[in-house]
Chain A
Amino acid sequence: QKEVEQNSGPLSVPEGAIASLNCTYSDRVSQSFFWYRQYSGKSPELIMSIYSNGDKEDGRFTAQLNKASQYVSLLIRDSQPSDSATYLCAVGDNGSGNTGKLIFGQGTTLQVKP
Chain B
Amino acid sequence: SQTIHQWPATLVQPVGSPLSLECTVEGTSNPNLYWYRQAAGRGLQLLFYSIGIDQISSEVPQNLSASRPQDRQFILSSKKLLLSDSGFYLCACILGTGNTEAFFGQGTRLTVV
- Chain A residues within 8 Å of B, Cβ to Cβ: 4, 32, 34, 41-46, 49, 51, 88, 90, 92, 99-107
Contact = CB atoms under 8 A, between A and B. Distances in A.
Nearest to B59: A101
A100 B42 contact: no
Interface of B: 32, 34, 36, 42-46, 49, 51, 57, 59, 90, 94, 99-107, 109
| Chain B CB within 10 A, most for which of A32, A90, A102, A107 | A102
B105 to A, nearest CB: 6
A107 B42 CA distance: 8
A100 B36 CA distance: 13
Contacts, number: 55
Contacts of B106: 42-43
Given A44-B90, A49-B100, A101 B46 contact: yes
Contacts of B57: 99
B49 A100 contact: yes
Nearest to A103: B46
B51 A99 contact: yes
Nearest to A6: B43
Given A101-B59, A102-B102, 6 more contacts: A43-B104, A44-B90, A49-B101, A100-B99, A100-B100, A106-B42
B49 A104 contact: no
A37 B81 CA distance: 30
A101 B44 contact: no
Given A43-B104, A44-B104, A49-B100, A100 B34 contact: yes
